[in-house]
Amino acid sequence: MPAHTHDHIDWADRLAHLRAADALDAVAMATAARRLVAALPPRPTIVDLGCGAGGMSTHFARELAALSGGTVVLVDATPALLEEAERTVADKHAAQGRGPVQVHAILGDLADTGLPHTLPPADLVWASHVVHHLADQQAAVGTVAAVAKPGGLVALAEGGLDFRCLPWDLGVGRPGLENRMLAAQAEWFIGMREGIDSAVPMPYGWPVALDRAGLTEVDSFGALVHHPSPGPDSLADYVVNRIDRLREFAGDQFTAEDRTTVDALLDPDGPHFVGARRDLYLLGAKTIHCGRRP
Ligand X SMILES: C[S@@+](CC[C@H](N)C(=O)[O-])C[C@H]1O[C@@H](n2cnc3c(N)ncnc32)[C@H](O)[C@@H]1O
Applying CB under 6 A, the residues found at the interface with ligand X are: 5-6, 11, 18, 50-52, 55, 76-78, 81, 109-111, 128-130, 133-134
- Cα–Cα distance measured from residue 185 to residue 286, given in angstroms and rounded to the nearest whole number: 17
Least Å distance, CB 191 to ligand X, is 16
Taking Cα atoms as reference points, which of 12, 11, 14 lies closest to residue 241?
Answer: 14
Least Å distance, CB 134 to ligand X, is 6
Name the burial class of residue 244, with classes exposed (0-12), middle (13-18) and buried (19+) by CB atoms within 10 angstroms of its CB.
middle
CB-nearer residue toward ligand X: 247 or 286: 286
CB-nearer residue toward ligand X: 78 or 261: 78
Residue nearest to ligand X (CB): 52
Least Å distance, CB 78 to ligand X, is 3
- Cα–Cα distance measured from residue 236 to residue 108, given in angstroms and rounded to the nearest whole number: 34
CB-nearer residue toward ligand X: 8 or 226: 8
Least Å distance, CB 55 to ligand X, is 6
Listed in sequence order, the residues at least 6 apart from 186 whose beta carbon sits closer than 8 Å to its beta carbon are: none
Least Å distance, CB 10 to ligand X, is 10
- Cα–Cα distance measured from residue 264 to residue 242, given in angstroms and rounded to the nearest whole number: 15
CB-nearer residue toward ligand X: 23 or 264: 23
Count of CB atoms situated within 10 Å of the CB of 192: 17
CB-nearer residue toward ligand X: 51 or 210: 51
CA distances (Å), origin 125, targets 86, 248, 278: 17, 33, 39
Q: Is the peptide bond before 294 cis (omega within 30 degrees of 0)?
A: no
CB-nearer residue toward ligand X: 45 or 143: 143
Least Å distance, CB 271 to ligand X, is 34
| Beta carbons of 289 and 230 less than 8 angstroms apart | no
CB-nearer residue toward ligand X: 51 or 274: 51
Taking Cα atoms as reference points, which of 51, 93, 59 lies closest to residue 75?
Answer: 51
Least Å distance, CB 112 to ligand X, is 8
CA 132 to chain centre: 11
| Beta carbons of 80 and 12 less than 8 angstroms apart | yes
